[in-house]
Structure 1
Amino acid sequence: MDTNTPLLNLRTIEPGDYDELAALMNLVFEDVGGAWPRMTIMDLIHQFPDGQICIEDSGKIVGAALTIKVDYNRFSLNHTYTDIINEQNVIQHQANGDALYGLDVFVHPDYRGLRLGRRLYDARKELCRNTNLKAILAGGRIPGYHKVADHLSVLEYIEKVKRKELHDPILSFQQSNDFDVKRLMKHYLPEDTKSCGYATLLEWDNVFYDEVAPSILDSEKTMVRLGIVQWQMRMMVSVDDLIDQAEFFVSSLSGYQSDFALFPEFFNAPLMGLWPEQSSVEAIRLLSGFSEEIKQRFSQLAVTYNINIISGSMPVMKDGRLYNIAYLLHRDGCIDEQYKIHITPHEQRDWVIDGGDKVKVFETDAGRIGILICYDAEFPELGRMLSEQGVQIMFVPFWTDTKNGYLRVRLCAQARAIENECYVAIGGSVGNLPRVNNVDIQYAQSAVFSPSDIYFPHDATITEASPNTEMIIFADVELDKLKYLNTEGSVTNLRHRRLDLYGGFTLSKQK
């Protein structure tokens, strides 16, 4: 290659490329038989044209990737090279296969170091995603093994390559491109003396694979719009007064096609002003008498305005005990509930509230969500329990009276987004309630947080409200980005958990 900057072009291979392609294969694969016959390459192009990709520099082919479709259940098990290409050099392509099989990737020696192999692999991954295939499989040679075969077993060699104590020109490259070693295959290519006949079965999983392509009505949403009500506490004289104010915000959020509306913790506290002469313990229990009616009327709003509502939280009496419960009012009329788990000293002392004992993920028509009420967001164990149930969005309705209390919620919510690779929306209340003891002042700045990686905003904050101002905010969150993050992020917190050291939460503990 000369010193000029290459003019690279990635395209599919055409029949007229055979002579140039064969010359490159002879150069790269001199030790294992060189180029395939013209008939084999022509058959590949005819049967699966999109799977045959090359990179050219100013019209000259300098790298290529050859690929077929196979049945995943068959070729994720042990097999040999002749199961893929028989003795007559006929490729065993399966047009209805549910996985890609990487035959070869090769780059001209003069062009190594330009990461052309990575480009070819990225093109394969994109093909796998676009055609909704389960995975990419490949039989990977380990041509560096013969150098150490006299004192290392093949498994020891693979482990040392994985730990970067040794370098293998193929296995090291495959692992750097997110392929995992699934099994060792003996006698894969007996004439491959450099690999001593061994090969690794490599696999890259398509996290976007849908086993059954859904109808348009059943398809999973990938772009979800969150709406948050930064609610102002004001004097109210009836439940109708409260619902009228709430309906204004629900209608506004629905008008902007929001999938969710989040209200703050204890958003119905203004109704406690109806009993200024009562103690705080008595007033909160009187307030709980409105909760069932408010829940049902919010459910009607959810259906009427076609929006899922997280109704902040409300005090609820059950079996003689008072709980702090958030309701999820689905737009199809279903209702779910989440108890607050950790009760603050203020709630215990002034209101005598008890805590719940279970957190769960709720399936909605716009993703898998969890609800952590205010103080609960400050306990990482709860967020991890939700993440192990596949949560995509956590909602945190909160009530804080001071900025330092608010910052505890905000900073912990951001941590939950990062460590659990999900979105977190927080929504609080502003204003003052002079006639209500223990809920007299408010401080809030509602926001939506993302994980912190290249797929997301530089400060991991998608949107935030103005502090202490009644308003609504919106955020569009892309659920697909969470899948990319989980497998290809700069760091992958969930995948790198040391379960051998600190274990994990099991769903059985939640039952």
Structure 2
Amino acid sequence: MVQVYSAMSNSYWSKADISTLVNKFPDGQFCIVIDGKIAGCALSMIVDYDNYDDDHKYNDIIGGHEFANHNEDGNVLYGIDVFILPDYRGMRLGRRLYEARKELCEQLNLKSIIFGGRIPNYGEYAETLTPKKYIDKVKLKEIHDPVLSFQLSNDFHVKKVIKGYLPGDHESKEFATLMEWHNIYYTKPERLINTKKKVVRLGLVQWQMRLFKDYDSLVEQIEFFVDAVSDYQSDFILFPELFNAPLMAQFNHLNEAEAIRGLSSYTDRLLETFRNFAINYNINIITGSMPQAVGEHMHNVGFLCRRDGSVERYEKLHITPAEESAWGMKGGTQLRTFDTDCGKIGVLICYDVEFPELPRLLAEDGMNILFVPFMTDTQNGYSRVKICAQARAVENECYVAVAGSVGNLPKVNNMDIQYSQSAVFTPSDFAFPVNGIKAEATPNTESTLLVDVDLDLLKELHSFGSVRNMKDRRLDLYSLKRKNIKISE
């Protein structure tokens, strides 16, 4: 790739990137070897193209170095790259790679092959021809383009011209042709259940802090909310951060660090309870957060319990000064999106939403809904969470659902008072409420909030919004990358 893209600095995947891609989708990567030497490659992934629009950028759909948008349940084979080393060109090797892709597309019963194609000779004609006129002349064979001419001869057609598809492609003036090959043997699968929904119903629990006589009483209150919200056919239910704090009352004779460790002894039991409720009530449960002992350290964690019985864990990454000084909490190291039957979601616990880098990374991975379980004692603390959550919805063109606890909790140190107004926030554009608030609960009152959010509106905003925050980022000036580090306990 370094040889092939010598005119485009840093426009190649590293060995680690290729390894990641091969591990994720081995069947989609093709390689031609001649006399023991690699002569050419074709790299691809599967995407659910219904989640994207034709005016996308390369990095938007690839999902970064983790190829995060690869989806085995998708409907389109998306071409990442095809290249032939200069010494082996003219041997029709590219055609063989394209034919292999077509066979794979048919075998996997995918709707089509789609990719963005460079037009490297356009730079020679840019002063006299628009991209459209240039493409028309290539189709009529009045102009030869080494990439586009080859793709047209292999039964691909131009869907759209995209500006800025591949930053740094000066030969193409950063224009690209969105190419598609239709699989005529494609049969739309019958999926009567578990299809991804376009309108998603969220249920938020504004939890009243109160003393419970025992663990079973707490579970009874949890089940009451799960039952009530599931009766309205909600897809998700969100609980607040550290909603199980009332169980700490029995450890009040201990210091705060020992008391929170005592509370963590209930986490495994609660997880299994939530998992069973998710299955029994047919609802995806976001469990808020609970303390969990990991080695010598305490972490603030939660779980996504899907209605199919699968479970995923998320962590609070940024620990507040009070959590650190009183409980000895330590920040986690995992940040990722979660696939659900309602699309990709993210979960950030309270303080984490005040750091804009985290939701941006999740948005780059395709997140549509961000859930934020929180716990704030005063109204100014709540205002920080609310204002930041609203900003995250605008910046990342997503929905943000926040849920917290209310009331007082006597006999539990460091948990005296709570303030909350659970809400669902939206981007701010014509298709959404003028104040960016889809719905809000009554402040400081135990309640549930049921809200429908339309995922198609996010797709429309991404392409046709008054402003397009995700697309209009100046990636030529700045970038955001996560560090792949392993932290031992």
TM-score range, shorter chain: 0.5 to 0.7
Partner in structure 1 of residue 276 of structure 2 = 300
Which of 405, 415, 421 lines up with 2:381 in the alignment?
405
What does the per-residue CA deviation read over 1:207-243, in whole Å, with 9 as the maximum and x for residues that have no partner?
A: xx99874433353211110000000000112211110
| 2:435 aligned residue (459, 465, 470) | 459
Equivalent residue number for residue 284 of structure 1: 260
Task: Confirm or deny: 8 A CA contact 1:271 1:287 kept in the other structure.
Answer: yes
Mark the CA change 1:377 to 1:436 in structure 2 (over 3 Å): closer, same or farther: same
Q: How does 1:339-350 map to 2 (within 5 A)?
A: 339-350=315-326
Indicate which of 355, 372, 385 corresponds to 2:331: 355
1:121 corresponds in structure 2 to none
Distance 1:344 1:313 in 2: 15
The alpha-carbon distance between structure 1 residues 157 and 358, as it changes in their structure 2 partners (threshold 3 A), is: farther
Aligned with 1:444 (options 416, 420, 423)? 420
- The answer to which of 215-224 and 387-396 deviates more is 215-224
Q: Of 139, 161, 170, which residue of structure 2 is paired with 1:203?
A: 161
Aligned residue for 2:417, secondary structure, equals: coil
2: CA distance, partners of 1:437 / 1:181: 69
TM-score (norm 1): 0.62
- The yes-or-no answer on 1:215 pairing with 2:186 is no
Equivalent residue for 2:307, pick from 328, 331, 334: 331
**CA–CA distance in structure 2, aligned partners of residues 183 and 351 of structure 1:** 66
Distance 1:510 1:501 in 2: 29
Amino acid at match of 1:476: D
Shift, 1:133, TM fit: 8.8
The structure 2 residue matched to 1:396, chosen from 372, 375, 387, is: 372
The 8 Å contact of residues 337 and 345 in structure 2, kept in 1 or not, is answered as yes
Larger Rg: 1
User: Separation in 2 of the partners of 1:319 and 1:408?
Assistant: 32
RCO (CA 8 Å, sep 6+): is it higher in 1 or 2? 2
- 3-state SS in 2 of match to 1:293: helix
| Within-5 A mapping of 1:33-48 | none
Q: What secondary structure sits across from 1:473 in the alignment? A: strand
The CA RMSD measured in Å over matched residues stands at 3.6
Q: Give 3-state SS (helix, strand or coil) of 1:501's partner.
A: coil
SS in 2 for 1:363: strand
Counterpart selection for 1:155 from 126, 132, 143? 126
Indicate how the Cα distance of structure 1 residues 214 and 182 shifts in structure 2: closer, same or farther if over 3 A, else same: farther
Alpha-carbon spacing, 1:188–1:308, altered in 2? closer, same or farther (3 Å): closer
Alignment of 1:411-490 (within 5 A): 411-490=387-466
Whether 1:273 and 2:249 are equivalent positions in the alignment is yes
Q: Equivalents in 2 of 1:234, 1:437: separation in Å?
A: 13
Distance (whole Å) between structure 2 residues aligned to residue 341 and residue 222 of structure 1: 30
Hey, what's the Cα distance between the residues in 2 that align with 1:422 and 1:510?
Answer: 29
Distance 1:485 1:413 in 2: 18
Where 1:493 maps in the other structure, the secondary structure is coil
1:187 shift after superposition: 5.6
Give yes or no for contact 2:125–2:134 (8 Å, CA) kept in 1: no
> Shift in Å at residue 480 of structure 1?
1.3
Q: Are the counterparts in 2 of residues 358 and 510 from structure 1 also a CA contact under 8 Å?
A: no
Q: 2 CA distance for matches of 1:227 and 1:233?
A: 19
Q: Deviations over 1:117-166 (max 9, x none)?
A: xxxxxxxxxxxxxxx9999x9xxxxxxxxxxxxxx9631456xxxxxxxx
Residues 488-509 of structure 1: CA deviation (Å, up to 9, x unaligned): 1111111111122111325857
For 1:417 and 1:496, the matched residues in 2 are separated by 16
Deviation by residue 1:40-98 (Cα, 9 ceiling, x = unmatched):
xxxxxxxxxxxxxxxxxxxxxxxxxxxxxxxx99xxxxxxxxxxxxxxxxxxxxxxxxx
Shift of 1:203: 3.2
Q: State, as a whole percentage, how many aligned pairs show the same letter.
A: 49
Equivalent-residue separation in structure 2 for 1:181 and 1:421 (angstroms): 31
Q: Matched residue of 1:425: which SS?
A: strand
- SS of match in other structure, 1:271: helix
Structure 1 gap ranges (5+): 1-71, 74-131, 138-151, 159-170, 172-179, 193-200
Counterpart CA distance in 2 for 1:414 and 1:181 is 40
> Structure 1 residues 231, 134: CA separation in 2 closer, same or farther (over 3 Å shift)?
same
Preserved CA contact (<8 Å) 2:357 2:480: no
Say whether the 8 Å CA contact 1:182–1:203 is kept in structure 2: no
Calculate the TM-score normalised by the size of structure 2.
0.64
Q: Deviations over 1:1-32 (max 9, x none)?
A: xxxxxxxxxxxxxxxxxxxxxxxxxxxxxxxx
Residue aligned with 2:476, SS: helix
Deviations 1:433-456 (A, max 9, x none): 121111110000000011111121
- Give secondary structure in 1 for the equivalent of 2:477: helix
In structure 2, the CA distance between the partners of 1:225 and 1:398, relative to structure 1 (3 Å rule), is same
- What's the secondary structure of 1:317's corresponding residue? strand
Residues 1:437 and 1:215: Cα distance change in structure 2 (over 3 Å): same
Q: CA distance change for structure 1 residues 464 and 188 in 2, over 3 Å: closer, same or farther?
A: same
1:238 paired with 2:214, answer: yes
Shift of 1:248: 0.5
> Hey, what's the Cα distance between the residues in 1 that align with 2:235 and 2:399?
14
From 361, 365, 371, give the equivalent of 1:385. Answer: 361
Counterpart-to-counterpart distance in 2, 1:259 and 1:365: 9
Taking the aligned partners of 2:399 and 2:187, their CA distance within structure 1 comes to: 27
